Structure 1
Amino acid sequence: MKSQDVRIRSIQVNKLANRKKSYTVRWLLAGKPESKTFATRALADSYRSDLMQAVNRGEAFDTDSGLPESMMPTVTGVSWLAFVRRYLDMKWPGAAAKSRESLTDALATVTPALTADLPGRPNSDLLRRALRGYELVPATRTTPRPDDVAKALQWLERASLPLADLAQASVIRPALNALTVRLDGRSAAATTSRRKRAVFYNVLQYAVELQLLDFNPVDKLRVSSNRSKVSVQVDRRVVVNPAQARELLTAVTYVGSRGKNGRRGERLRAFFACMYFAGLRPGEATDLRRSNCKLPATGWGSLIVERSRPAAGKRYTDSGEVHDDRGLKHRGQTEAREVPIPPELVAILREHLERFGTDESGRLFRSTRGGVVSASSYARVWDAARTVAFPPERVRTPLAGRPYDLRHAGVSLWLNAGVPATDVADRAGHSVDVLLKVYAKCLDGDRERFNARIEAALDA
């Protein structure tokens, strides 16, 4: 807010314990006392004179800073790197760990592109390591740095362009181009480029919100017509049928190192089965507990999905653990969902509990050392299981290439079985519109039967 209700008071002399004096310039702004203290009388007189001249010119004073417009700190000198730190400090507390990781990934990609051509530029790998490992994560900015990292960040501080320069298309376009290139110089996937571009756009939008930029410069650029299109739909080629899913779940039990309780894959069979038969995300299956399971001796059971434990990295979680502990995706912090599960999964889970039990907290799935199952660990088991379940020519295809594809297969099965989209969305933790958009290519029902229905309707 601005106000012209200003009264300049006389300078106050402060006597300090060491017999030195300080001088405080005092004024009232809209009835609120403001002040600034100086070491000498001359500095205080000069500052008070500037305030008086602003009042005489009829300038409005800013009620937050207490200063007239002519004495407000200039923002043109704010560098891109300094503003990025400010943005992350604002964004970090409310962001999930995976979102934090995504933010630092995008900003570590674009920040080196927004630098002046100064001598001594570090190589790209070092700049990225310095940004992601030390500078961008708020908690690691004060940690000791290796000499090469410290020198790289010193260069970056000097070379980082002023934020105001980003209003120029000649600066913004190379930055956008940098977001489309991988570390090895090849083109990045369209989904990766889009995600990083969204982060960059939001940072610039925050600068507009703070009135550090007059407009978002990305909006002024003409988008190239040959820009890669991004598909959010599941590729039908990754979706296994029920027979293939069962072959994979059996193959899992034959792979992995052997411990006192059997092979690692045997401990993960029920984990993968939850992703296929219940449509759970990996993070949701990771945090599944005995209290969440209703496993009757016969018939259908159910799972109450309450929390998710996605892997994010220690520097991105508030707890300092590799796995985040958060509520369900697209739901409130304490909101849960109930997923009915078929007798086949009930039997698998009962067998798992009988053989492996749970940890002290009741968690079903854990590593051989009792910790949270890591993504890298179950991915290795899955890769090995595919080579056991599929012939070589099929292993080379995208079919069930990732554990997450089991969820895709399970949700696709429900839709093709004729389960209403509203019920499928509730089981899978999706909204209906996103569900139908993502699984549009997997709706592979009996076309002849559907054609017959249409023909019957036309003949009626």
Structure 2
Amino acid sequence: MKSRDVRIRKIQVNALANRKKSYTVRWVVAADPKSRTFTTRALADHFRSDLMQAANRGESFDTETGLPDSMVQPEEAVTWFAFVLRYIDMKWPGAAAKSRDSMTDALATVTPTLVRAAPGAPDVAILRRALREYALPPAARQLDRPPDIAAALRWLERASLPLPDLTDAAVIRPALDALGLTLEGRKAAATTTRRKRSVFYNVLQYAVELELLDYNPVDKLRVRSNRRKVTHEVDRRVVASTRQVRELLAAVTYVGRRGRNGRRGERLYAFFACLYLAALRPAEALGLRQRDCYLPDEGWGLLTVEKSRPAAGKRYTDSGEVHDDRGLKHRGETETRSVPIPPELVAILREHIERFGVADDGRLFRSDKGNVVAASTYSRVWDEARALGLPPDRAQSPLAGRPYDLRHAGVSLWLNAGVPAPDVAERAGHSVDVLLRVYAKCIDGNQEIMNARIEAALAAMDGGHAS
């Protein structure tokens, strides 16, 4: 039934102990009270304004839903949650495992914000786990769901906003803000924020492509003037000297319990040496096979880097393994990179192969069970080596704080040794412009040269005045 007997009341503020405020819009249609609750005042104001405008236009209100015809969503309207699943199904086959992980991370962050207030809302942590582990990865959707996970996803299906609602700035702005926060509510790193917002933008753009939205609502927002700058340069404080690296590598061999094949650190000594002396990325070193190594008895050797084994998680790889099996970063699937290695690394790798052997597929570095070495494993060994090999003040500093910083030290060494930038870029797997931008502050000598030129110019000016 329809009625024009409508009375719209003031917004009711609900303040419950230990919970955020909510806002309820109340109105009456043909003596039948109606209400709808929102998580923000802006959403409540917007909804109430729409009701009042419809009533002022003389629209009839449905006595069952309490809504005027202009505010009744078409039955076929797609919800944000349903569309996210559709987007993932489209992107998943062609995406790398790390990209899949990044995509689901961003969408699990923003999706809980794009909901209406509905009874039975689950804890955000449970909802995020439900999305990351059961709903978003396509293969995980068939898994048996614990009761709390199943209940959380049922609630999300009911509460998820219709896709057209995302054109409202009062909806889209809080979603963007949420993508800039950590799980603890602190500001996330600028690179993390940019990555997550990029995923969100691309999902909305896909909705535009399918003509489910007329435009991307993010484009309508004013850019905040206090956006943080994303830093790409390597922090010079993390770059260790050759002496410091040698001390750290020596400390690695003393880390871990001694087993049948030596300490865990001894098994990873050659791995860390590859990060420094060949400037390999950790994932590239993990993918290194015996057939990729030319290790002569004397002189320089050569690594043909072809594989990368980045850790992504079983839910995100096609093989169901923790580590993805991919080609090199920024290169074609079968493209390789040749890295000449000094006699020191040749000897280290020859000794490693002789002592520890290789995995069944020829990989140089493996766990005790033959698997790819986990990032948590080699990071823990590195942390212990830093505590053992550095003075206390240095151990508390950013110096060589991550295994990846060995690569930074290696590339910096090559640049400061005078190796031309194009050759360094080729060996490290960078473009020249990226190389110089990233390592600009790690090249020694420029400051002294500039100072000398300025000093000479000042001296020439003084001579001119004296004359």
Q: Deviations over 1:239-288 (max 9, x none)?
A: 10111111111000000121101100000000000011111111110011
TM-score for both structures, normalised by structure 2? 0.80
Q: Deviations over 1:171-190 (max 9, x none)?
A: 10000010111111222111
Give the match's secondary structure for 1:141: helix
Counterparts in 2 of 1:454 and 1:354: CA distance versus 1, 3 Å: farther
- Structure 1 residue 452 displacement after superposition: 5.4
Matched with 2:86 is 86
Aligned mates of 1:74, 1:414 — CA distance in 2? 63
Aligned mates of 1:75, 1:389 — CA distance in 2? 66
Aligned mates of 1:184, 1:139 — CA distance in 2? 29
Q: Deviations over 1:20-51 (max 9, x none)?
A: xxxxxxxxxxxxxxxxxxxxxxxxxxxxxxxx
Aligned mates of 1:451, 1:338 — CA distance in 2? 38
Matched with 1:255 is 255
- Structure 1 residue 289 displacement after superposition: 0.9
Give the match's secondary structure for 1:213: coil
* Residue 116, structure 1, aligned to residue 116, structure 2: yes
Aligned mates of 2:355, 2:221 — CA distance in 1? 61
- Structure 1 residue 217 displacement after superposition: 1.1
Aligned mates of 1:89, 1:370 — CA distance in 2? 33
Q: Identify unmatched segments of 5+ residues in structure 1.
A: 1-72
- Structure 1 residue 446 displacement after superposition: 5.3
- Structure 1 residue 76 displacement after superposition: 6.4
Q: Is the 8 A contact 1:80 1:160 kept in 2?
A: yes
Matched with 1:197 is 197
Aligned mates of 2:146, 2:402 — CA distance in 1? 37
- Structure 1 residue 422 displacement after superposition: 1.2
Aligned mates of 1:393, 1:448 — CA distance in 2? 28
Aligned mates of 1:102, 1:260 — CA distance in 2? 39
Aligned mates of 1:277, 1:453 — CA distance in 2? 34
Aligned mates of 2:452, 2:303 — CA distance in 1? 38
Counterparts in 2 of 1:161 and 1:250: CA distance versus 1, 3 Å: same
Q: Give the stretch that moved more between structures: 220-229 or 320-329.
A: 220-229
Q: Is the 8 A contact 1:261 1:356 kept in 2?
A: yes
- Structure 1 residue 384 displacement after superposition: 0.1
Matched with 1:418 is 418
* Residue 145, structure 1, aligned to residue 145, structure 2: yes
Aligned mates of 1:266, 1:115 — CA distance in 2? 52
* Residue 429, structure 1, aligned to residue 425, structure 2: no
Aligned mates of 1:348, 1:124 — CA distance in 2? 49
Aligned mates of 2:170, 2:448 — CA distance in 1? 56
Matched with 1:393 is 393
Q: Is the 8 A contact 1:294 1:301 kept in 2?
A: yes
Aligned mates of 1:174, 1:450 — CA distance in 2? 48
Letter in 1 for 2:274: C
Q: Deviations over 1:214-245 (max 9, x none)?
A: 11111111122222221111111111011111
Give the match's secondary structure for 2:340: strand
* Residue 281, structure 1, aligned to residue 281, structure 2: yes
Letter in 2 for 1:256: G
Q: Is the 8 A contact 1:253 1:265 kept in 2?
A: yes
Matched with 1:370 is 370
Q: Deviations over 1:130-185 (max 9, x none)?
A: 00001000111121100100000000001100111111111100000101111112
Q: Is the 8 A contact 1:76 1:163 kept in 2?
A: no
- Structure 1 residue 98 displacement after superposition: 0.4
Matched with 1:95 is 95
Matched with 1:156 is 156
- Structure 1 residue 445 displacement after superposition: 2.8
Aligned mates of 1:83, 1:444 — CA distance in 2? 52
Q: Give the total of aligned pairs.
A: 387
Q: Give the stretch that moved more between structures: 262-271 or 349-358.
A: 349-358
Give the match's secondary structure for 1:340: strand
Matched with 1:304 is 304
Aligned mates of 1:368, 1:316 — CA distance in 2? 24
Q: Counterparts in 2 of 1:183-194, with a 5 A limit?
A: 183-194=183-194
- Structure 1 residue 100 displacement after superposition: 0.3
Letter in 2 for 1:328: L
Q: Deviations over 1:292-332 (max 9, x none)?
A: 11111221111000010111100100000000000111000
Q: Identify unmatched segments of 5+ residues in structure 2.
A: 1-72, 461-467
Q: Is the 8 A contact 1:327 1:335 kept in 2?
A: yes
Aligned mates of 2:229, 2:455 — CA distance in 1? 36
Letter in 1 for 2:216: N
Q: Deviations over 1:344-390 (max 9, x none)?
A: 11111111112112122211111122211111110110000000111
Aligned mates of 2:293, 2:373 — CA distance in 1? 19
Counterparts in 2 of 1:76 and 1:189: CA distance versus 1, 3 Å: farther
Aligned mates of 1:173, 1:157 — CA distance in 2? 22
Give the match's secondary structure for 1:255: coil
Q: Is the 8 A contact 1:76 1:162 kept in 2?
A: no
Aligned mates of 1:410, 1:307 — CA distance in 2? 20
Letter in 2 for 1:223: V
Aligned mates of 1:248, 1:172 — CA distance in 2? 48
Counterparts in 2 of 1:210 and 1:359: CA distance versus 1, 3 Å: same
Matched with 1:127 is 127
Counterparts in 2 of 1:456 and 1:185: CA distance versus 1, 3 Å: closer
Q: Deviations over 1:44-66 (max 9, x none)?
A: xxxxxxxxxxxxxxxxxxxxxxx
Aligned mates of 1:96, 1:81 — CA distance in 2? 23
TM-score for both structures, normalised by structure 1? 0.81
Aligned mates of 2:416, 2:75 — CA distance in 1? 58
Give the match's secondary structure for 1:360: coil
Letter in 2 for 1:401: G
Counterparts in 2 of 1:350 and 1:146: CA distance versus 1, 3 Å: same
Letter in 2 for 1:357: G
Aligned mates of 1:365, 1:213 — CA distance in 2? 50
After TM superposition, the runs of 4+ consecutive aligned structure 1 residues lying more than 3 A away are 73-76, 449-459
Aligned mates of 1:90, 1:172 — CA distance in 2? 23
Letter in 2 for 1:430: H
Matched with 2:181 is 181
Aligned mates of 1:109, 1:75 — CA distance in 2? 27
Aligned mates of 1:117, 1:190 — CA distance in 2? 30
